[in-house]
Amino acid sequence: RVLVGNKVSEGHSNYVMAYNMLTGIRVSVSRCSGIMKPLTEVDFRTTKKLAFDISGSELIPSSKYDFKFKDYAPQVFRSLRLLFGLDPADYLVSLTSKYILSELGSPGKSGSFFYYSRDYKFIIKTIHHSEHRQLRRILPQYYNHIKENPKTLISQFYGLHRVKMPWGRNAGLRKVHFIVMNNIFPPAKDIRSQYDLKGSLAGRITRTPTTNSELARTIVLKDQNWLKEEKTLKLGPQKAKDFLNQLRSDVDLLERLNIMDYSLLVGIHYEPNRLKKNNTPETLMSFEGRSELRATDYLNNDLDEVYYVGVIDCLTNYSFFKKVETLWRSLSHKRAEVSAVPPMEYGERFYQFVRNSVDSHLIRKQC
């Protein structure tokens, strides 16, 4: 796999923040152990604070820097990690071993920072205060959805935390909220191209002047690229049904929660035809935080297409800000093409776009 992102080691401008994030997770998550009791309403509102300093104390080990760490609903996220099938020890090893992360040079417009865990299994995303509030607000419904939909395509959230630390020359304190989530793409497989699909068209194009295939695969393509390249998810009837049913139920939840601006992230991997298992079940495969879909009976230069898919960036509430954006943008664009539309409209447009992108026919092999 091509390594994307820069290693965050000592001297990197965000090294201290990354170090504090991982130190906080290590201490807080490893202490959240003991017998699991059934969750109560209170668990969803509980927060836990830890103060770290260079000298340490009886209760908290010393750390390289002074900072404060806040863990939100620790028992709920512990239970979620269990529902998602994560091993508690592996989780800590992935996130804290040797404190190395790689930073993805802010791929979105939002100003969030993205970090991969050392083994590329997990992604840490810094989030805006409003997204943090949104996640806390929807946590009970999200939790129930996960319980009822173990194969959900929606981002798997493993933790919500905050670090508070000195920032900048005048050393004012800054609070940074962040989430830990699944990497939609498997660490060991080569993703040849990736698409971020919202179902809207305005501005949804990535111009790719590069002929360098190594570089091209690190570029995130969008809706207009998808349509122009006539891409489809070649799933055949049964997988198409399973996938769309799951997506339908996920979109219903996001609509109910007044959420919008999310995308379906699709990564395409090519696998030699002969590796294909004859008894591949006709379903949406879900394991280790990833949803994998194999193209059905499709011969493509002896290569099979395998898709890794997930619904990402799903913490944007249709707030006042978005209402203003809708009004402003609708002056210059056709409504259906604008991305900031109310959640119901957004969800239906999104679902229809994906549905139209699914090829549910069985394509006969030409051999």
Site residues for ligand ATP per CB under 6 A: 107-110, 112, 114, 123, 155, 181-185, 194, 196, 220, 265, 312-313
Among ligand ATP, Ca ion, none, the one that 123 touches (CB under a kind-dependent 5 to 8 A) is ligand ATP
Closest separation in Å from C-beta 53 to ligand ATP: 32
Question: Nearest-CB residue to ligand ATP?
Answer: 108
Can residue 223 be called a binding residue for Ca ion (CB under 5 A)?
no
Residue 130 within binding range of Ca ion, rule CB under 5 A: no
- Least CB distance to ligand ATP at residue 278 (A): 30
The answer to whether the CB of 158 falls within 8 A of the CB of 181 is yes
Determine the Cα–Cα distance for residues 5 and 18; give it in Å rounded to an integer: 14
- Using an 8 Å Cβ cutoff, are 221 and 208 in contact? yes
Q: Is 190 exposed, middle or buried (0-12, 13-18, 19+ CB in 10 A)?
A: middle
| Contact window for Ca ion (CB under 5 A) among 74-82, 106-114, 148-156, 265-273 | 106-114
357 binds, among Ca ion, ligand ATP, none (CB under 5 to 8 A by kind): none
- Name which of ligand ATP, Ca ion, none residue 109 binds, using a CB cut-off of 5 to 8 Å depending on partner kind: ligand ATP
Q: Which amino acid is at 171?
A: A
By CB under 5 A, name the one of 71, 103, 255, 313 that touches Ca ion.
313
> Which of 9, 14, 110, 249 is in the footprint of Ca ion by CB under 5 A?
110
Residue 19 to residue 115: CA distance in whole angstroms: 12
79 alpha carbon, distance to own chain's centre: 19
State the binding partner of 107 from ligand ATP, Ca ion, none, CB within 5 to 8 A by kind: ligand ATP
The yes or no reply on residue 194 touching Ca ion (CB under 5 A) is no
Enter the tokens of residue 128: 């805006």
CA pair distance 255, 252, nearest whole angstrom: 5
Exposed / middle / buried, residue 170 (Cβ in 10 Å: 0-12, 13-18, 19+):
exposed
The residues that touch Ca ion, with contacts defined as CB under 5 A, are 110, 313
